[in-house]
Amino acid sequence: MTDLPLAQSLHRKGDWTGAADTVRLDYDARFLRRKRLETEEGRPFVVDLAQTTSLDEGDALVLSDGTLVEVRAASEEILLITGPSLPRLAWHIGNRHTPCQIKPNCLVIQRDPVIRHMLEHLGAEVTEALGAFTPEGGAYGHGRTHSHEHGHTAHAH
């Protein structure tokens, strides 16, 4: 066993208040079950959740000593997508089960040369950037949207 504090539960964004340490994780790292992490303040801890969970920016892990650790989105390589008919471009992104952040004037995806090439051929202007990536959650508010693992009652596609 470990002497480090354990995070075995979490509070979703908006369901907690107060002071908290912070941990910065990119989009892929925010999908976890068990992992040793370190807060920005330098404090190590172990996440040991009952199941693999998609953490959203603003969620808070609850450590065994009662400390809250707020999850923040780390900067990562992203693509900013603009151009005519953003809804059409968003459809093509979604049709490939690519996580997508929707902003008022652009779409944001993780850096992906294949998807970039497709979008440019559809008339999109694609710009590389570094920034936080917080894509739309699943149909029920949070979670991952790829792989068709919705975690709800059976349904037909």
Same domain, 57 and 120: no
Check: CB of residue 88 under 8 Å from CB of residue 95. no
How far apart CA 145 and CA 94 sit, in angstroms, is: 9
Q: Which residues, in sequence order, are bridge partners of residue 109?
A: 79
53 found inside a domain: yes
Looking at residue 142, what is its pLDDT? 52
Residue 149 has pLDDT above 90, yes or no: no
Same domain, 79 and 155: yes
SS3 41: coil
pLDDT tens-digit readout, 25-55? 999 999 999 999 999 999 999 999 999 999 9
Looking at residue 139, what is its pLDDT? 54
How far apart CA 132 and CA 136 sit, in angstroms, is: 13
Q: Among the three residues 21, 41, 72, which one is the final residue of a domain in this structure?
A: 72
User: Residue 93: which domain range?
Assistant: 74-157
Q: Among the three residues 56, 72, 88, which one is the final residue of a domain in this structure?
A: 72
Q: Which of 89, 87, 109 is nearest to 99 (CA)?
A: 109
pLDDT tens-digit readout, 78-115? 999 999 899 999 999 999 999 999 999 999 999 999 99
Same domain, 83 and 102: yes
Same domain, 94 and 108: yes
Residue 157 has pLDDT above 70, yes or no: no
How far apart CA 53 and CA 50 sit, in angstroms, is: 9
Check: CB of residue 10 under 8 Å from CB of residue 57. no
Looking at residue 137, what is its pLDDT? 75
How far apart CA 71 and CA 126 sit, in angstroms, is: 28
pTM of the entire structure?
Answer: 0.82
* AA identity, residue 71: V
Percentage of residues in the chain with pLDDT exceeding 70?
86
Same domain, 91 and 109: yes
